[in-house]
Structure 1
Amino acid sequence: MPTTTRHADPALAAVRAAETVVREAEVAKLHAVLAWAAEHTIDNEDDVPDRMSFGECPLHLAGRGAPVVEEFAAYDLAAALGLSSESGCAYLGEALELRQRLPRLWAAVTAGRLVVWKARKIARATIALPVEGAAYVDQRLAQAVTKISLVQIRRLVQEAILRFSPQDVKDDQPDRRRVIIDFHLTDTDGNVPVDAVLAAPDAHALEQALRDGAKRLADSGCEDTLDARRSMALGDLARGDQALDLGRGTSVVVHLHQDSRDVGRCETTRSPVTVETIRQWVGSAAKVFLRPVIDLNDTVHVEAYEAPDRLRRQIELRDLTCVFPHCHKPASRCDLDHVCPHSRGGATCTCNLAPLCRRHHRAKTHGAWRYLVEHPGSYRWTVPSGTAYPRDHHGTTPLGPTPALAEP
C-alpha cells in the first residue's frame, strides 16, 4: 500500500490561532471588568459612597464575603458589554465570585488552563454556597480543572451544600419542577413549545391522561398523528375539556392588516400566524372580541399625568419592550415614563412617553441616565460614562463618548 505524506493543514492552523485569540480576549475582558469593579465596589455597606444616587441600592452579585456593587454603575457596565442589565450583572457577579472566592480556579483561568465559559458556570453554581463550601469546590475542582464535566460540577456543588450548609438544603436548594411555555418560539401554525419538569407521580398521571385523551380523540374519528392528538389532549386538560372561553381569563389577540390577506400577527405571542390558524382559533372560541385598530403613527395627547388605556396601548404596541439599552422586558409590564418629566412641563402624549421597566425607571429617575426622543419609537440614551446608545426597533447601537444630555 502506498504511503501518503501528511502536511499541516493551514485552515486548521488558522482555526486554532483564532480560537487562541478568542480565549485570550475572554480572559482580557474578565480582567477589564474586574478592574472596573475595583472602582465601583463597596467594601463596607454601612459606608455607602457619596457618588451613589438617592434610590440606588448596593447589589449583592457574588457569594458571601465578596464586595457589593453600585447599582446604576453596573447598568453602565452591562451596556458597555452589549448585555441586558440582568445579564451584565450576572457576568459581573461571576467575575467577582471567581476572583474573590475561587482563587485556584481564577489562577487556572488566567493561566489559560480553564476556559472562561466553564469557569463562569462554576462561579454561578457556587454563589449560593457559604465561604467554606466555595473553598471546598475550589480546591476539589482545581485538581482536575481541564477535564471536569458540567455534571461533575453540579454534583460537587450539591455535595458542598450537604457538607457545609445542611440546614439550608431545603431553603436554598432550588425546586427543579417547572413548566415553561415559550411564546417567543411560536411558529406560523400557532404552535408553542412547552417544556416541563414534574414530580414523578404527577408525570405518571399526566402521561396516563394524555394516553386516554389521545385514544378518545382517535375513537371519535380524529385522524391526526398520535403526537398531535396528545397535544390536543393536553389542551383539553388545560380547558377542563371545555371550549376555549375568552371571557374566563384566557385570551388571544390577533391583528389583521389590510395589506395582507394570508397572514396576521398574534399579539399574545408576538408571532405571525396564518389565516387558516386564525379561523381554527375563532372556531374553537366561546367568545370573540373585536378591538379597533390602533394607528401607531397617530399623536395622542391628554391634559393629565396618567396615561389613559388607549394611549398606553399605543405606546406598548409601538415600542414592544422597555426602551432602555439592551432591555427586553415586555412593554405591557413596564411603567410609562415621561421622557421630559411632567413636573417640568413634559406632556402626556405619544411623543413624550416611553415604556421603562421598574429597575430602569429608577435608574433614569434617580441616576445619571438620560435619553431623548429622536422620533416616536427611536431614542438616544447617554449613560453616566458618557457613551451614547441609540435604541429603536432594530435594537441598541453603542456609539463613542458624547457630550452629556442636558437635564430635560
Structure 2
Amino acid sequence: MPTATRYADPALAAVRAAETVVREAEVAKLHAVLAWAAEHTTTDDQVDLNRFGEAPLHLGGPGYPVVEEFAAYDLAAVLGMISESGCAYLGRALELRYRLPRLWAAVTSGRLAVWKAGRIAEATIKLPPEGAAYLDTRLAQAVTKISFTQIERLVTEALLRYAPDQVQPEGPDRRRVLIDLDQPTIEGTVDLTATLSVPDASDLEHALRAGATRLREAGCEESLDVRRSMALGDLARGDQPLDLSGPSVVVHLHQDSPEVGRCETTRTPVTVETIKTWVNDAAKVFIRPVIDLNQHVHVEAYEAPDRLRRHIELRDLTCVFPHCQKPAVRCDLDHVCPHSRGGATCSCNLAPLCRRHHRAKTHGAWRYLVEHPGSYRWTVPSGTAYPRDHHGTTPLGPTPALAEP
C-alpha cells in the first residue's frame, strides 16, 4: 500500500487561513449581538410608555430574555437586515445561548459553524424547555455531521415526547396514488405520484430494484430510471412477481420510551400505534431492541456477519472519511488494520467507507487510525490531520504522516 506523504501547499494553507478568519468573525459577531441583547432586555411591565406602540419582543420560548422592540430594529439595521430577519437572527442567537448550552459550546469552540447552529436553533425554538434540553444533548453527540433532515426528525421526536399536544393530528389517511392520464406527453408518458405507508413503499422499492436488475440482465440497455418505470408496468400486468424476500421495515423500541419507536429504514420516529398498524398490514416488519453499541463484537473470519455489520452501521451512521455523509448502510466495511496483516474482524477494527473513499484509502495515500471505536484520526496527502467522530470532522494543522497500519 502507498505510504502517506506530505508536501507544501501554500494555496491550500491560504484557503484554510481565510476560512478560519471567516468562522472566527461569525462567532465574534454572535458574541457582540448577545452582549447587545443583555443591555436591551426588558419585561412586559417595563416598556417605555413614552414610545407609543412599542411592545416587548418575545423571540422564543421560556428561558429567553425579553428584548426591547424598537432597539431590535436598530440592531437589524446595523446587521444590514430587514427588521424581520434581524429579529430572527437575534432569536436564534438567544436560543443557542440560553437553551442549547452544548451546541453553544460547540459554536464558541469552533466545532460548529454559526450558520448551521442558526438553522438548528430555528428548528428548536418551538420546543418546550425540556424538549430543547433533550435535543441539545442528542445533537451534541454528532452535531457537525448530522443532516437537517435528521434534525427535523429529532425535533418531531422531541415534540412527541415532551409536547404531544403541539403535534398536529394527521387527520384522514393521506395515502393515495394519482396517475395523470389526462395529460400525457408527446413521448406518451404520464406522471404518477403516490403516498404510501413505509412498509408498502419499502416493498415497492425492492420490487422495482429487482425488476430493473432483471431487465438489465435480459439485455435491456435503457437507463436505470427507464428500467424502473418498465418494471412498474410489469408489476401492473402481473409479468413480474412481487418478491418479498428482500429487506423490509425494521423498528427499534427501547424500554425507556414505550410510546415512541424509531424506524431504522427511514431513520424517523414513529408512534407505537403506527407500528401496530404496520404489523397488521405489512408483509414483513421486524421489531428489535436497541443495540448496546459499547459492546465489543468479534468474529474469527474475514467477512463480517449481519449482526456485526448492523452494529457498525448504527454506531457510525455514515462513511467515516472526513466530512463524508454517505449512509453507512450503503458503504463497504473496511478493516482499518488490513486483515492480511493481522487485523481482526471486530467492532474495534471495522469502519464504514463508501466505495470512493475505500479506494482512496486502499490505493491512495490517505491513512487513518482508530482512536477508540467510533472515533478516527485521518492523515491526508497534504499532511493535515482530521479527527472524525460523532462530533464530525475537525481539521488540525499538518502532522507527521501516519505509519503503515
TM-score range, shorter chain: 0.3 to 0.5
Which structure is richer in relative contact order (CA contacts within 8 A, separation 6 or more)?
2
What's the TM-score once normalised by structure 2's chain length? Answer: 0.43
